[in-house]
Structure 1
């Protein structure tokens, strides 16, 4: 906990590191060596993030280099990770619990967006003992972390399960997903690398050569379709967003045509998610569910989502053209 606020994102990184270490320990007990090492390495990376950043700012590159070796180790270990059955409650017991709880099961899930919104809107205005409630870190990210903890507690209360159920079931789901659980974070980092390496500038030059940049609707279409297409290629809208926003959104739509940055960013991300529905690169969204449901066609989820994705893409382009300009 830092002196700047009662809650900061570092606290939740430590909590996440503890959960990942627990997952590693459980796999170690089950002699699933690759899984155990994989989750323990990630736990160490999350727990040491502040130290690595402080060392880098102080001019010491060694911790960052060790973190890089940890990332390489994750790539090697992922090749050894294979899906295997993780014990869970019998099907009859789960069916009986679902029948008993009914729609109350939706309550904890709905708490996540609700609590996140409340924290984002009210958190920066609140203080405790003359200290701001929110410390270092994005209010949205801190709100999401708080909401996740609140939802987990609410789920335990609704289901009347012991506290140990939350980490145990979380570990089971984590092992079921395997390395694919890291894809959103990894691809978002990749998007940042692409933007820093000048891919956005290359996209801007290419787009400027093929579309009339003075036509704001043409720029909207290029930005929206580009978000969807880059998401299909990279597997996640978080990876596409920095590249397309640096290449089209910022220079053409915001600076040239005066688009509202907040509205453009929100609608741009939602447009990118249309691409998520269409790509096997988004393995944790599209391939893992097919595997969990034991579907014969690994792309069955994508096939069902195609009409929804294309319809939403057209709607989002229309909303963007109408709402983002002041």
Structure 2
């Protein structure tokens, strides 16, 4: 059975490859520190389940220190000559989008078709993580298609993966760290504290105020956490369930769905969501690293206002 471990090993090997290439590149500044960062990150994926929790914790602290002290560096990419680039673009044309389009198509196909292969005792794809496993499988197929389409070797694909990872830098850590932080906040009782503050200082007996409080809190906490999935359990436990559901009788399904959309509005307006807002600015080499956030903020504010009214009219 192809399980989630397949994805962990795949990601770990890419990170380990990046570490090796960094270490071997004598022209790259701070190559030992950068190689240590990518190597530690790779080991977390490859053998993290077999290491003591304390060791993994120390490795995470080391990653944070290396990133915080600016130890990461990027190699100077070797670009194709303009003539070669134009020739390649002319030959491939619009087919260049094929590998990217294969990812969603194969993911859906794997979920709907390959996910059904097997019986009660055996499955081709892990049913507990079917979507993620399907996505990983789709990425492998898309990578093979990209190599075939561009007539490049998998080695060149690995070099390009290293270049993209270095462009993203420490931001690749944020999704995991922020999701973990959300779990810690929830277990620490932050949701209960939010409930006490809300019921003490806001007039949540009024339905519209209660709805606006929940929606805005989802957006603001997402801006702090950088992840709507991390904010959702905290704000829903503190405001959604006790106020909207228990007090005003909101439909839980509608509240949860629109509440997540409110969180996504916050995602558009925060640098903490680095994988959405900071990484694109870095990859596009924009002079203003917050240019993406500035462009998205007006839309995010309008969407948040619309979500407040949708929640008010549809959830009750």
Q: TM-score range by the shorter chain?
A: 0.7 to 0.9
Distance in 2, matches of 1:178 and 1:213, equals 43
Alignment of 1:17-36 (within 5 A): 17-31=12-26, 32-36=31-35
Deviation of the 1:50 alpha carbon: 2.9
Structure 2 SS opposite 1:127: coil
The residue aligned with 1:72 is 61
The answer (yes or no) to whether the contact 2:3–2:125 under 8 Å persists in 1 is yes
Could you tell me which runs of 5 or more consecutive residues in structure 2 were left unpaired when the two chains were aligned: none
Query: Where do residues 145-224 of structure 1 align in structure 2 (5 Å cutoff)?
Result: 145-213=136-204, 217-224=208-215
1:155 deviates by 2.7
What CA distance in whole angstroms lies between the structure 2 residues aligned with 1:47 and 1:80? 25
Taking the aligned partners of 2:120 and 2:153, their CA distance within structure 1 comes to: 33
Post-superposition Cα deviations, 1:113-145, rounded to whole Å, max 9, x if no partner, equal 343344445555331796123337422322332
Equivalent of 1:313 in 297, 301, 304 = 304
Q: What is the rounded CA distance, in whole Å, between the counterparts of 1:43 and 1:245 in structure 2?
A: 34
**For 1:67 and 1:17, how far apart are their aligned partners in 2?**
14
CA distance in 1, matches of 2:92, 2:313: 43
- The 8 Å contact of residues 115 and 127 in structure 2, kept in 1 or not, is answered as no
- TM-score, normalising length from structure 2? 0.84
- Choose which of 95, 100, 111 in structure 2 pairs with 1:109: 100
Question: Deviation at 1:236?
Answer: 2.6
- Whether 2:29 is the aligned partner of 1:37: answer no
The change in CA–CA distance for 1:235 and 1:97 in structure 2 (over 3 A counts) is farther
Unaligned stretches of 5+ residues in structure 1: 1-5, 53-62
Tell me the secondary structure at the aligned position of residue 101 of structure 1: helix
| Aligned mates of 1:240, 1:218 — CA distance in 2 | 20
Q: Is the 8 A contact 1:184 1:238 kept in 2?
A: no
CA distance in 1 between counterparts of 2:105 and 2:243 reads: 34
CA–CA separation in structure 2 for the residues paired with 1:272 and 1:91: 44
Shift of 1:162: 2.3
Q: For the structure 1 residues 129 and 268, does the alpha-carbon distance in structure 2 shift closer, same or farther, using more than 3 Å as the test?
A: closer
Query: Deviation at 1:22?
Result: 0.7
Distance in 2 separating the partners of 1:114 and 1:266: 25
After superposition, the Cα gap between the structure-2 partners of 1:192 and 1:121, relative to the gap in structure 1 and judged at 3 Å, is farther
Which residue in 1 is equivalent to 2:71?
81
- Per-residue deviation, residues 286-313 of structure 1 (Å, max 9, x unmatched): 3343344343333222222222222332
Match of 2:154, SS state, is: coil
Classify 1:91/1:174 alpha carbon distance in 2 versus 1 (closer, same or farther; 3 Å).
farther
SS in 2 for 1:138: helix
The counterpart of 2:281, out of the listed 285, 290, 312, is 290
Q: Paired residue for 1:259?
A: 251
CA distance in 2, matches of 1:312, 1:301: 17
Give 1:199 shift: 0.7
What is the distance in 2 between the residues matched to 1:138 and 1:238? 17
Taking structure 1 as the reference length, the TM-score comes to: 0.82
Q: Please say if 1:16 is aligned against 2:11.
A: yes
Q: 1:71: how far off?
A: 0.7
Distance 1:130 1:71, change over 3 A: closer
